[in-house]
Amino acid sequence: MALGFFDGVHLGHQSLLLQTKKIAEKNNLKFSVMTFDPHPNEVIKLEKDLRYLTPLALKIERMAAIGVDKLFVIKFNLSFASLLPSDFIKQYVLGLHAKHLVVGFDFTFGNKAQGTVDYLQKVSKNDPFDVTVISKQVHDDEKISSTLIRKIVRDGDVHLVPSYLGHHFEIKGVVYSSNRHKHEKKENMEIHTENKYILPAQGVYSVEIKNGNRTCHGLFIRYGSSKRNDEISGQIIEMLKGGVAEEVTVKFLKQIPFESKSQCSKNFKEVIK
């Protein structure tokens, strides 16, 4: 069983999960994962506006794609956060009959993060489970982490994401025809995303848009304002004529750069027309 929050299921997470899968197959065990929801910081640090690379539904999809046999999603609340490390082991390791734990080098658990990798290795000597610790995964001398990837997305540097995530940053959203542009030849469509998704900085992005088996390229116009919904444009408009709300997946390829702030402002206004 792999343990962790796994936001993004990035390259570091993938290394850990694939090692777990290998151990499971070798020992004829179920490949299982334990994750938590919501993020501990929402409960412990009261970060109510915390945004995710992979909200829970998308994280579950990514786990299934990797081949996870069993996924345990533990509700993270104050009661769970206050568990002593020994109680966590009793309830969530021995209680689930886990035979082998796989964790990252900096994994912590239990009240005030008292449970550490060293603690796990120590108690495993007397309990019927083994522990494998996965070392730090780096790119360009930086630790691959969800925190770093979220910053990259927030900064609008979406072209850098594949080096850490293993693929382009994606979101799922619902689009419908915007009446605002009906008088013009080119119409944009408003897009509503799940509130928990992190989104890039204000600007215009080159994106790939997928709806079912149909894929096209287009633009994602990020307003970054609560008063105006973000929009997408491109061939997707031809695909979804009639203004019917449909779910799409948007893959961010790169931000469209401008030479100066004034040029950015001018071009931004031109694009959103």
pLDDT of residue 261: 43
pLDDT of residue 269: 53
pLDDT of residue 118: 96
pLDDT of residue 213: 87
Q: Which domains does the chain have, with CATH numbers?
A: 2-137 (3.40.50.620), 149-272 (2.40.30)
Q: Which residue in the block uniquely carries the two structure tokens 């693929």?
A: 167
pLDDT of residue 239: 67
pLDDT of residue 262: 47
pLDDT of residue 179: 52
Positions in the chain whose pLDDT score sits under 70: 177-187, 236-237, 239-244, 258-273
